[in-house]
């Protein structure tokens, strides 16, 4: 008996049926995460706090193809942990994005007569006739987050002096010492 696939529902879901998307006519959706959705996304992305997540999403079917283009912008207020001191780092994220979806899994890319860009190679497959705009915004939010947030005025060297870890030898210093001993012999 095959194993069942258990998918965790997205924290921020706004489904849009693709059958209502017409060629060359842009449909614009304004979406906003609730406090509960922001809290769940904060946990997912390792944030201390997330608020005011909003997105403007433009959806358009590309004429003569099964491709759907999605572009838009997002904004959010975030609190991350400083990578040096673990202090709260407050920030505001503004981002833009664009991506493509397709219904046709087997469409060979080299036979398409569209001349767009390399993003077509990474087109996501539509499942169940729905696209989740909330998940698209959440994924692009994650890409906009600072991977190494630092509190203002915090430096790694100063933190190492304060905590007393600055004087410890690192493993490479030990290896360098062994190399010097070998050279002397």
Torsion angle of the four alpha carbons 54, 60, 62, 68, in this order, in degrees rounded to the nearest 10:
50
Listed residue (30, 27, 77) closest to 53, CA to CA: 77
Residue with tokens 């509190």: 151
- The structure's pTM equals 0.74
Task: Report pLDDT digits (tens) over 58-67.
Answer: 999 988 888 9
- Which ranges in the chain belong to alpha helices (H)? 35-45, 133-144, 156-163, 171-184
Categorize the per-residue pLDDT at 125 as very low, low, confident or very high, splitting at 50, 70 and 90: confident
Q: Higher-confidence residue: 84 or 111?
A: 84
pLDDT of residue 6: 54
In degrees, to the nearest 5, what angle opens at C-alpha 11 toward C-alphas 10 and 13?
65
Categorize the per-residue pLDDT at 111 as very low, low, confident or very high, splitting at 50, 70 and 90: very low
Tell me if residue 178 falls in helix, strand or coil. Answer: helix
Residue with tokens 């842009």: 26
- β strands within 5-123, DSSP E: 15-17, 27-32, 49-61, 67-81, 88-102
Q: Are strands 130-132 and 15-17 parallel, antiparallel or unpaired?
A: antiparallel
Cα distance between the two ends of the chain: 66
pLDDT of residue 66: 86
Task: Report pLDDT digits (tens) over 165-180.
Answer: 555 556 665 556 666 6
């Amino acid at each position: 008996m095959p194993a069942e696939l258990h998918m965790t529902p997205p924290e921020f879901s706004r489904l849009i049926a693709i059958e209502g998307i017409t060629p060359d006519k842009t449909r614009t959706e304004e979406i906003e995460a609730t406090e509960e959705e922001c809290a769940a996304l904060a946990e997912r992305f390792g944030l201390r706090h997330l608020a005011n997540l909003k997105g403007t999403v433009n959806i358009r079917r590309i004429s003569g193809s099964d491709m759907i283009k999605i572009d838009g912008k997002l904004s959010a207020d975030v609190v991350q942990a400083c990578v040096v001191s673990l202090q709260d780092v407050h920030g505001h994220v503004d981002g833009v994005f664009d991506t493509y979806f397709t219904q046709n899994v087997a469409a060979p890319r080299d036979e398409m007569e569209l001349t767009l860009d390399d993003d077509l190679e990474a087109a996501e497959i539509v499942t169940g006739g729905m696209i989740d705009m909330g998940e698209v915004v959440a994924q692009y939010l994650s890409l906009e987050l600072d991977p190494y947030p630092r509190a203002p005025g915090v430096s790694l060297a100063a933190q190492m002096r304060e905590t007393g870890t600055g004087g410890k030898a690192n493993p490479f210093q030990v290896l360098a010492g062994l190399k010097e001993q070998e050279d002397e012999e």
